[in-house]
Amino acid sequence: MLERILAENDEAFVLHAAVVMPDHVHLLVSPLRDESGGHVSIPEIVRKIKLDTAQAINRALGRIGAVWQDERLEHLAGNETPEKKVEAVCQNPVRAGLAGKPADYPWLWRQSGE
C-alpha cells in the first residue's frame, strides 16, 4: 500500500510523511495546483489514494469489493513547524507500541531532509 501512495507523490500532492498502521493510515500532504490553477482538493486526494490502494490490495488478495470505509478524518495542520508535523506523524507507531523508534517501523516513509 505504501508503494501506491508514493506513486501519487508529486502528481496531485507533495507527500511529506506516511505511516501505514494496522487499521488506518496517517498522511501529511501538501496539495499541488491542478490544471485550472487551483489546488487539488483533499477529498480528491483521499479518493484517488483509496481507489488505487484498494485495487492493489484486492489484486494481491485475489478478491474484489470494498476495502476502505466511506469515512475519513482529516485535519488541517496548525501552526506547528513542518518538521514538528512530520515528527508527530512518524511517532504514531511508537505511541501505538509497534516500534521502539520511528526508524524501526517498516511501513513509515518520510521525505528526505524532513
Give pLDDT tens digits for 38-94.
888 888 888 888 888 889 889 999 999 988 877 666 666 666 777 888 999 999 999
For residue 102, give the CATH number of its domain. Answer: 3.30.70.1290
Query: In what helix (H) or strand (E) does residue 55 lie, and over which residues does it extend?
Result: helix 42-61
For 69-106, give one letter per residue: b (16+ CB within 10 A) or e: eeeeeeeeeeeeeeeebbeebbbbbeeeebbeebeebe
Read off the pTM.
Answer: 0.77
What's the domain range around 28? 2-110
User: Comparing C-alpha atoms, which of 101, 80, 96, 88 is closest to residue 23?
Assistant: 96
In terms of C-beta distances under 8 Å and separation of at least 24 residues, what long-range contacts does 94-97 make, across chains too? 96/21
Give pLDDT tens digits for 8-52.
667 788 889 999 888 888 888 888 888 888 888 888 888 888 888
What's the domain count of the chain?
1
- pLDDT at residue 34, rounded to an integer: 80
5, pLDDT greater than 80: no
φ and ψ of 107, to 5 deg: -110, 40
DSSP state of 96: T
114, pLDDT greater than 60: no
